[in-house]
């Protein structure tokens, strides 16, 4: 079955494909509505009960048998027959598609949007509603192909909770058997720097490691008229903020991209009182996995040195996060071929390694896989609505692109193996 030619969001003709699995117009409209419903009802990590129920209901309507994870949110669903160990009945490992389903604890600031968040201080500002809808849509299309006897090999859908909660809900999904019998895994992440209608691909590291840092500084406090008689805690905190990133940057190869960035600093209540307590929190990010393994010792030592210099007592909580997402070459090539089959070479572009963190990396510690950057910027739009900002939104034509990328990848993967 060949796909009818149509126009993509950039106005260019879409290449007619030889693969089945194009997105029917009725399902396209349904998926847009589904995504908008998720966008209006965002839920934080490990609280995604409504989201999980909505996904489960739609999969069951298609005749599938999803299984909710033991943690109570997120689910796994196989399309096709798998054996006791999770692999296909012929023993060949299956292809998995992963989506993250949680939202962020920030307000939705879009003022003229009919589907803006209805939940105070909660927003799908990272595109997880799009990721979820893409995997759901791909699952529905592949389920129909399976019903017709046209899906050569089983596929697994993984809807994972708590990606935004370090060290990430991927660990819960893996512990619950998400990767049992899986040979390859694929995912997409919204990218507001890439035009809708395109995907960005990269072999090797595409994201960075990300850890969380929480620091308490303490001293006896005192009068601002006599800082020499006490610990000048505000100055000590300020020096930690400025000096620690500089020290860290000189203790590893600069190409490793080890960076400490602060997101919060709190101290004091009155202008003439030196406080007894200060708190700082931030993130540690790193491009290189070997430097990431050394990062806790390097960062903690730098904090202690600066705090001791200013006679402040430091207490450090270094929360290990996620390693970089390192895309496998063969699976990245699979995504490339799938996108070319759907949209031609014009639908693919290279992408840089990001300093953002993603717990998809935990899956890739166990099986080869690849994450693509899914373009969500309306072509021609100059303003970039960046991720993790309250006004973030996505060009919804990206849903179609993601679904057809994944269905093509499933069919090509079956042909390869």
pTM: 0.89
pLDDT tops 50 at residue 65: yes
CA distance 365 to 167: 14
Radius of gyration of the chain (CA): 24
Mean pLDDT of all residues in 34-49: 98
pLDDT value of residue 385: 80
Tens digits of per-residue pLDDT, 249-304? 999 999 999 999 999 999 999 999 999 999 999 999 999 989 999 999 999 999 99
| 1 and 381 Cβ atoms separated by less than 8 Å | no
pLDDT band at 21 (very low <50, low <70, confident <90, very high): confident
pLDDT tops 70 at residue 210: yes
pLDDT tops 80 at residue 84: no
Tens digits of per-residue pLDDT, 306-344? 999 999 999 999 999 999 999 999 999 999 999 999 999
**Who has greater pLDDT, 234 or 166?**
234
State the SS3 of 191-253.
Answer: EEEEECCCEEECCEECCCEEEEEEEEEECCCEECCCHHHCCCHHHHHHHHHHHHHHHHHCCCC
Place of tokens 């390192």: 326
> Nearest 5°: phi and psi at 249?
-65, -15
| 46 and 160 Cβ atoms separated by less than 8 Å | no
Please provide the average confidence, as pLDDT, over all residues in the chain: 93
Place of tokens 């849509």: 137
Tens digits of per-residue pLDDT, 338-394? 999 999 999 999 999 998 999 999 999 999 999 999 999 998 887 778 899 999 999
CA distance 340 to 317: 46
State the SS3 of the chain.
Answer: CCCCCCECCCCCECCCCCCCCCCCHHHHHHHHHHHHHHHHCCCCCCCCHHHHHHHHHHHHHCCCCCEECCCCCCEEEEECCECCCCCECCCCCEEEEEEECCCECCCCCCCCCCCCCCCCCCECCCCHHHHHHHHHHHHHHHHHHHHCCCCCCCEEEEEECCCCCCCCCHHHHHHCCCCCCEEEEEEEEEEEEEECCCEEECCEECCCEEEEEEEEEECCCEECCCHHHCCCHHHHHHHHHHHHHHHHHCCCCHHHCCEEEEEEEEECCCCCEECCEEEEEEEEEECCHHHHHHHHHHHHHHHHHHHHHCCCEEEEEEEEEECCCEECHHHHHHHHHHHHHHHCHHHEEECCCCCCCCCCHHHHCCCCEEEEEEEEECCCCCCCCCCCCCCCCCCCHHHHHHHHHHHHHHHHHHHHC
Place of tokens 């993967």: 413
pLDDT value of residue 81: 78
CA distance 155 to 272: 65
pLDDT value of residue 10: 40
pLDDT value of residue 319: 94
């Amino acid at each position: 079955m060949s796909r009818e030619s149509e126009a993509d969001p950039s106005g260019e003709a879409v290449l007619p494909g030889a693969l089945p699995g194009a997105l029917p117009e009725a399902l396209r409209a349904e998926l847009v509505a589904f995504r908008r419903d998720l966008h209006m009802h965002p839920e934080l990590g490990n609280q995604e009960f409504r989201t999980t129920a909505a996904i489960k209901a739609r999969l069951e309507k298609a005749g599938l048998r999803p299984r909710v994870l033991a943690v109570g949110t997120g689910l796994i669903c196989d399309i096709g027959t798998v054996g006791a160990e999770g692999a296909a009945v012929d023993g060949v490992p299956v292809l998995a598609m992963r989506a993250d389903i949680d939202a962020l604890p920030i307000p939705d600031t879009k003022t003229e949007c009919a589907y803006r968040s209805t939940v105070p201080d909660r927003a799908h500002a990272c595109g997880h509603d799009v990721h979820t809808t893409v995997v759901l849509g791909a699952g529905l299309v592949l389920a129909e192909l399976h019903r017709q006897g046209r899906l050569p090999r089983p596929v697994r859908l993984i809807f994972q909770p708590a990606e935004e909660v370090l060290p990430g809900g991927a660990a819960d999904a893996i512990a619950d058997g998400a990767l049992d019998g899986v040979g390859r895994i694929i995912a997409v992440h919204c990218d507001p720097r890439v035009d809708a209608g395109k995907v960005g691909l990269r072999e090797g590291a595409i994201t960075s490691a990300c850890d969380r840092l929480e620091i308490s500084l303490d001293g006896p406090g005192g009068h601002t008229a006599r800082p020499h008689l006490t610990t000048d805690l505000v100055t000590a905190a300020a020096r930690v903020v400025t000096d620690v990133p500089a020290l860290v940057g000189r203790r590893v190869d600069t190409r490793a991209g080890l960076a400490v960035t602060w997101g919060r600093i709190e101290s004091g209540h009155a202008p003439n009182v030196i406080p007894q307590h200060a708190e700082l929190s931030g993130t540690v990010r790193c491009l290189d996995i070997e430097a990431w393994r050394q990062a806790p010792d390097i960062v903690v030592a730098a904090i202690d040195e600066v705090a001791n210099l200013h006679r402040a007592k430091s207490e450090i909580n270094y929360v290990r996060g996620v390693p970089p997402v390192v895309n496998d070459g063969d699976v990245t090539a699979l995504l490339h071929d799938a996108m070319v089959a759907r949209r031609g070479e014009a639908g693919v572009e290279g992408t840089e390694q990001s300093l953002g963190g993603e717990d998809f990396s935990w899956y890739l510690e166990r099986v080869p896989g690849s994450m693509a950057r899914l373009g969500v910027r309306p072509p021609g739009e100059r303003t970039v609505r960046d991720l993790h900002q309250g006004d973030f939104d996505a060009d919804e034509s990206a849903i179609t692109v993601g679904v057809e990328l994944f269905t093509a990848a499933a069919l090509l993967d079956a042909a390869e193996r």
